[in-house]
Amino acid sequence: MYTLSKDTEITNIVLNDVIAYNEKYKGRLKRLGDYYIGKQDIMGRTKEDRLKNNKVMINHAKYITDTNVGYLLGNPVDYQVGKNEKGELAYNIEPVLDAYKKQTINDLDTEIAKDVSIFGYQYEYVYANSEAEPRSCEIDDDNAIIVYDDTVEHNKLFALIYRPIYKGNTFKYWDIIFVDDKEEIHYKSSDKTLRKQGKPKAHAFGKVPLICYKNNPELLGDFEPVISLIDAYNLLQSDRVNDKEQLVDAILCLYGMDFDDDQAEMLKDSRMLANIPTDGRVEYLVKTLQENDVDILRQNLENDIHKISMVPNMSDENFANNSSGVAIRYKLLAFEQNIKNKERYMEKGLMERFELYNNFLVKMSKMQEVPIEEVDAVFKRNLPSNDFETSQMINNLADFLPAETLVSQLSFVKDASEEVELKKLEDEAKPSDPYDDLFKQNEIGDANVKEDMDNDSQNNQMDTDNAVNV
């Protein structure tokens, strides 16, 4: 986190210092990006020409990231607001949701979550397009930085989006977009000069429109803590293949035998021996492979990778049987807790985006202001569900919880309130059964007869009491 005093004057020195601070992390970001796409250390291993050098790369890094992202955002995020006393939505958030739909914001969420998982953080820039509509795009981590104030609250002061400009192989200057909570300014900055390009452009977002999505407080990627284990696993598997291949090319040892050049060439071509003397001996010099020990080491490395990253091995036999929903959740407990933490940080970024969109649309007179605390981002896990078990649970709780709450537990229901309303309308539209009216009339008749009988009994009792008194 880069911090400055609120009163700091924006100078060439300040901007270059901020950029220099961000450039320090470029090597780390490249290494993490390479590991995700399969450019891992094992692929660069070299050996002497005569030695086998197989390069086996099992991409655990990609598996860890893709599993986390799929579990977190396999189902799109849903946005909800509460209801007022009349049972109506307290606020209208449709203008924001419409802006999301126009740019398929769910795809952007997935890309952001993937990069957050890889690099530990990711930037999103919110801007207005040519039609005065709010839009969002990703900004590479090594081309952007947010500067905060030095108070305990660490409020955003401004953000920089920049790129280096070269002439040939010679660096010339930084092309910089400076943006704070009011305006956007375009600069060109070199070591010696700072030149403003054009006039400042005011924006209507009300805050600094650059959002930083975090993976965790330390800004670590999901597979970053297990890179050494990944390297060890790849090395082990590569050497296993090398050893197997070297067995084929085992050294032939000849004892008590002499060969001239022609005989040696014949032996090489035919791979057969003839006329072995009685005192001669032939055998291959090979290395004994302890496959069981190697396999135990491989399993231990793999288990450590999954344990430290908290991403389960879905090919494990523990997931092969038809376990109940509760049993599966116990197996995924550590994974679920980690995803909960990721969800909390992701939600913070999504709410920041919602607020920026809301501020913009309010300024454009396209919606009313919505308090951000009244909006909920709902994440739905992409996990196989047992709807039969859920239906039994709903049936057991029908007398204790609202219908909307119960229906929302079903995996195939997207909008519980809509489904409950549709069911209510269907029930009202059903034609009445004439037998129902008949039974109701009988019930009313029986009730009247019972009432008459009770009255008669009461009158008889009063007559008896009067006779006794007389």
Candidate from 39-53, 117-131, 194-208, 443-457 with smallest mean pLDDT? 443-457
At 43-83, the pLDDT tens digits run 988 877 667 788 889 999 999 999 999 999 988 999 988 88
Of 167, 188, 180, 141, the closest CA to residue 23 belongs to 141
Structure tokens belonging to residue 361: 């649309």
The vertex-14 CA angle with 13 and 18, nearest 5°, equals 115
Three-state SS letters, 125-148: EEEECCCCCEEEEEECHHHEEEEE
Token code pair at residue 207: 């805050």
Residue 436 has pLDDT above 90, yes or no: no
pLDDT in the model for residue 127: 95
Greater model confidence, 447 or 1:
1
Cα 303 off chain centre by:
22
C-beta of residue 167 within 8 angstroms of C-beta of residue 150: no
CA separation for the pair 45, 52 (Å, rounded): 11
Residue 296 has pLDDT above 80, yes or no: yes
Mean pLDDT of 216-232: 95
Q: What is the pLDDT of residue 440?
A: 57
pLDDT number for residue 456: 58
Q: What is the pLDDT of residues 164-205, one digit of tens each?
A: 999 888 889 999 999 999 999 999 988 778 888 989 999 999
Residues with Cβ within 8 Å of residue 315, at least 6 apart in sequence: none
- Between CA 298 and CA 15 the distance in angstroms is 49
pLDDT band with cut points at 50, 70 and 90 for residue 1: confident
Is residue 139 within 8 Å of residue 124, measured between CB atoms?
A: yes
User: In this predicted structure, what is the pLDDT of residue 92?
Assistant: 92
Segment of 4-13, 323-332, 423-432, 448-457 carrying the highest mean pLDDT: 4-13
Give per-residue pLDDT as tens, 228-284: 999 999 999 988 888 777 666 666 666 666 666 766 666 665 555 555 666 666 666
Share of the chain above pLDDT 70, in %: 76
Longest Cα pair distance anywhere in the chain, in angstroms?
150
Lowest-confidence pick of 38-52, 204-218, 449-463: 449-463
Look up residue 106 and give its two tokens: 């769910």
More confident of the two residues 449 and 440: 440
Confidence at residue 446, expressed as pLDDT on a 0 to 100 scale? 56
- Candidate ranges 153-162, 328-337, 430-439; pick with highest mean pLDDT: 153-162
| Predicted TM-score (pTM) of this structure | 0.77
Residue 65 is which amino acid? T
Structure-token match 């309303």, residue found: 421
Structure tokens at 313: 């091995």
